[in-house]
Amino acid sequence: AQTVTQSQPEMSVQEAETVTLSCTYDTSESDYYLFWYKQPPSRQMILVIRQEAYKQQNATENRFSVNFQKAAKSFSLKISDSQLGDAAMYFCATANFGNEKLTFGTGTRLTIIP
């Protein structure tokens, strides 16, 4: 079974600064995918970024990037130039190739300080 661990229940960052959210996972599969989802106060879950495990290059989406360390089973999310709209719960998730099931971590609540 897969497990996803987010060891930081809460984080805060000054507006315009950079913050990194941690995620580690455990899987016996060699082909899998990793995701970061954002859940703002509206409750809507929104995909932020995704990474295929077979790709060595770290994924980036504008101000969001990941640091994927496959051997260490680590998948951290870096948010650059933090904005007030980034305030949300962030969930790390994983899914095996060929299996649509997502396994989520417990989330990190990110607060942006104006």
Which segments of the chain are extended strands (E)? 3-5, 10-14, 19-21, 24-26, 32-39, 46-52, 60-61, 64-69, 74-79, 88-96, 103-104, 108-113
Binding of other proteins at residue 52 (CB under 8 A)?
yes
**Residue 44 vs 60, nearer CB to other proteins:** 44
Write down the least CB distance from residue 112 to other proteins, Å.
22
Pairing of strands 10-14, 108-113: parallel
Name the segment binding other proteins (CB under 8 A); options: 10-18, 19-27, 63-71, 96-104. Answer: 96-104
* Residue 11 interacts with other proteins (CB under 8 A): yes or no: no
Give me the residue label for tokens 């504008």: 62
- Asked whether 53 and 70 are in contact (CB, 8 A), the reply is yes
Residue from 91, 96, 108, 112 in contact with other proteins (CB under 8 A): 91
Residues of this chain that interact with other proteins (CB under 8 A) are 33, 42-47, 50, 52, 91, 97, 100-107
